[in-house]
Amino acid sequence: MDILFISKYLVVIALIILMLAALRAGAYKSTSMGLLASSVIINAFAVVLLIGGDIYNLGFYRDISLALIFFGFVGTVVFAVVLGGDDK
Amino acid sequence: MIEYVQSALLIISAFLIIISAVGVLSLSKGTKNVVYARIHIFGVFDIACIIAMIAIGQYLLAGIYFILAPFTAHAIANAYWKKEDRENNLDLVTDEEVVDDNPFIQSKEKMQALESENSEKLKADERFSVTMLEIDEGE
């Protein structure tokens, strides 16, 4: 096993730990914290997919992670605008 | 040689991700401005993801993520400030939450009631009233 393979798995493990931490932080009472946690989990999952696709040579994982990053951003911003309301 | 550089970047990103996870969990609920602090900590995670994407050769995705991540953080912080931040935004503070000991913090409803009360007093004050005399020229 070369060091590159091990380091990819290290990043995946770290991302899984961060997803669990974000899930714990998202249980805070405010809606914004849940929004932040969901955004972080989506981005972490996109990076996990990207690294998984790189390990197993699967091309379409990159497309899925691109869609997750882009539409995750759009959904987060739209929800934040709806939550914040209009400017006075 | 390139493999070692890629491995170093991935290990650095894993280290940053672990640091951000520990930082998020170490903040207690009683901490002041905890949501802003967590948004700040997740900024470290964003940069770690960008480093990981560069390490595995996805430069376009890294660039897109580098541009989009600050917009997300700002949108969430702005929404929290407008509707849920009762520590810093006085517009959201109601009468029940205002501490009477502090004379500098008053609720918005109370101040508006005081202002309308003063304006009614000023209207009733005779010093500001204007009388109109009717002059009959025929007499």
Asked whether the beta carbons of A4 and B3 are under 8 A apart, the reply is yes
Residue A31 structural domain? 3-84
- Evaluate whether residue B85 is within a structural domain: yes
In a domain, B125, yes or no: no
Q: Is residue B23 part of a domain?
A: yes
Total count of domains within chain B: 1
- The Cα-based distances of A27 to A37, A45, B57, B75, B116 in angstroms read 9, 19, 35, 20, 42
Q: Tell me: the pLDDT tens digits for A29-86?
A: 788 889 999 999 999 999 999 999 989 888 889 889 999 999 999 999 999 999 887 7
Containing domain of residue B48, as a range? 2-92
Cα A44 to Cα A27: distance, rounded to the nearest angstrom: 18
SS3 annotation, A11-64: HHHHHHHHHHHHHHHCCCCCHHHHHHHHHHHHHHHHHHHHHHHHHHCCCHHHHH
CA distance A74 to A67: 10
- What is the ipTM metric for this complex? 0.90
Q: Is the pLDDT confidence value at B125 over 60? A: no
Which of A4, A5, A20 to mutate against chain B (most B CBs within 10 Å)?
A4
Count of structural domains, chain A: 1
Residue B58 forms part of a structural domain? yes
CB A77 within 8 A of CB B71: yes
A66 lies within 8 A of chain B by CB: yes
Nearest to B80 by CA among B41, B35, B43, B31: B35
B64-68, B70-74, B96-100: segment of lowest average pLDDT:
B96-100
Domain assignment of residue B73, yes or no: yes
Mutate to test the interface with A, among B27, B76, B84 (most CBs of A within 10 A): B76
B24 found inside a domain: yes
pLDDT tens, residue by residue, B16-33 = 999 999 999 998 877 888
| pTM (two decimals) | 0.77
Which chain A residues touch B3 with a CB distance below 8 Å? 2-4
In a domain? residue B51: yes
